[in-house]
Amino acid sequence: MTGEAWDPATALEADEALTRERLAELVGDYAGIVEASEGSNADDEHDPEGATIAFERSQVGALVAQAREHLAEITAARQRLEDGSYGTCASCDEAIPQGRLEARPTARLCVGCASRSGS
């Protein structure tokens, strides 16, 4: 940290910008994989490269879904910021330590509740 006060709104804004940038890259990668596979007459099941293409498409598709889910988490965190519940654990109603929020600005659970829930 640079000595400046940590601001959750700024952290969420930066997180959103990075996530949107990553999402755009992933969507481009996915489109490229789909386009490359459409250009061939390959049957994934019988083509030695087919399984690789299907795996790549599946992997990038999962990363796209994960990035979109993270954007939804950012939106939810901004809503909590607006309604005054940001920084309060959604499970036990205790304050979420600032260190956790700095590491995970979208956190809705304190460390104890997150570890109990597996989040």
Q: pLDDT per residue over 11-54, tens digit each? A: 999 999 999 999 999 999 999 988 887 766 555 556 665 568 88
- 0.85 exceeded by the pTM? no
Burial of 61 (0-12, 13-18, 19+ CB in 10 A): middle
Q: pLDDT per residue over 56-83, tens digit each? A: 999 999 999 999 999 999 999 999 999 9
**Whether 51 contacts 82, CB under 8 Å:** no
